[in-house]
Amino acid sequence: MTDKNALIQPDRGQKAVALHLIGKDGLEQFIKGLSVPQRAALEAQKFAGAAGSHAILPDGDGWFVAAGVADPAKLSTWCLARLAEVLPAGTYRRASGEPGKAALGWIAGQYSFDRYLTDPSEEGPRILLTGEVKAIDAVIAEAEAIELVRDLVNTPAEDMGPGQLESEAESLAKAFRAEVKITRGEMLEREYPMVHAVGRAAGRAHAPRLIELEWGDPKHPRIAVVGKGVCFDSGGLDIKPGAGMLLMKKDMGGAAHALALARLIMGARLPVRLHLVIPAVENAISGNSFRPGDVLRSRAGITVEIGNTDAEGRLILGDALTRASEKEPELVIDFATLTGAARVAVGPDLPALFAREDATAQAILDAGLGVDDPCWRLPLYDGYRDYLKSDIADINNAGSSGFAGASTAALFMDRFVAKGLDWAHFDTFAWRPASKPGRPKGGDALGLRAAWYMLQQRYTGERG
């Protein structure tokens, strides 16, 4: 894990390479201030001010950087991330102004997952200086939360099973003096029957469990954060094809988001009483796998006919959301890599957001846009509830229509959230299929910062 404290540092006038950020409208004026050799270097590198491009120019015995951005006066989170990936190791500062939001992208752009490499890169860090010293800790905390999601999702399932998720929760509890409770074995079967049913086919080393963490002053408003922890999803007896299993190590991405959000909440000492709930399982295949056509009784007492064993995430979340509801929180947020239908609808970059309350949905959407972590709301449409009808049980986990898959999954989960509770659900991908500046291919946090900034606004009145 990269030392984030080394990448963003207070500007105390130390020696640093200057970053001249230029929009296309300002390129002509910038060129007028250059010497003839500098203009020649700029032309040789074919720099035209395009966003994401840069050129290195001589300056006496040293050098400086000209970098294209869309608007130098309004930097985005990711506009300097490419520089952090490609510039030589060293220390840098803006020639004019502060990095602002772009400081996070500068850190995130230097992420690499090298746990399994025998010869990882030893290239030194690119350090960015800032005069906004009070903002450094918050930026580092967000970068560490993003890296936590990436590391957990990128780790193969053999090394990231239910036990490892439990260890992550225990590490957080130790760091922030929180309380952890783990339910497993016969007690899990009795109290969380759907979590047990989905996970019971896994080997002993990856046995299912329900992970809970509680933190904060009981006098503060109670919130629940729930994350889907399917550490590997074979599809169960409705087995996935080989190509469909290749990314299934990421099916615990919801749990990774929930752990990262809990870390942000506790680290900032947000004035809430936090209840983190993670059902952790491996959806494996063996002689005791749950079957299509089985009827499961949930913690809530609702009976569920299994239409498809590959619709397992909503089952474990059903029990987890029931548990969260029992504490009567004023807000429940869950994260889950739940449906392919959401990816068809909004693609890999946009988490699909479902919410009971319009005000909560809008607050999350606005927060996401403000911090370059956009989400897209999809409907909890009552008219689709009929798609989940069962002839022999209270509800079917998969439905039979073939339509509105993301919405019907959300409606299934809605049955397990107590009536009247403010609830928001992220159907997130937790994965980048292609690299973008600051966001390498692989596991990633999508919707995390939107939720975090919404919570800050809601419980402190500040925008982070």
C-beta of residue 317 within 8 angstroms of C-beta of residue 225: no
Beta strands across the sheet bearing 303-305: 295-297, 303-305, 395-396
What's the residue count for the chain? 464
d(CA 155, CA 157) in angstroms, rounded, equals: 7
Burial class (CB in 10 A: 0-12, 13-18, 19+), 73: exposed
Task: Compute the CA torsion angle 75, 79, 84, 88 (nearest 10 deg).
Answer: -90
d(CA 159, CA 250) in angstroms, rounded, equals: 12
Residue 441 a catalytic site member: no
Tokens 């548990």 — which residue?
323
Burial class (CB in 10 A: 0-12, 13-18, 19+), 317: buried
d(CA 408, CA 462) in angstroms, rounded, equals: 35
d(CA 250, CA 257) in angstroms, rounded, equals: 11
C-beta of residue 276 within 8 angstroms of C-beta of residue 225: yes
d(CA 381, CA 76) in angstroms, rounded, equals: 34
Take residue 179 and report the two structure tokens written for it.
Answer: 């309380």
DSSP letters spanning 138-202 = HHHHHHHHHHHHHHHHHS-GGGSSHHHHHHHHHHHHHHHT-EEEEEEHHHHHHH-HHHHHHHTTS
Residue 314 a catalytic site member: yes
C-beta of residue 258 within 8 angstroms of C-beta of residue 276: yes
List the catalytic residue out of 94, 314, 415, 439.
314
Tokens 């319009």 — which residue?
358
Tokens 């990774």 — which residue?
256
List the catalytic residue out of 24, 39, 240, 432.
240
Q: In sequence order, what are the beta bridge partners of 396?
A: 305
3-state SS class at 128: strand
Positions annotated as catalytic residues are 240, 314
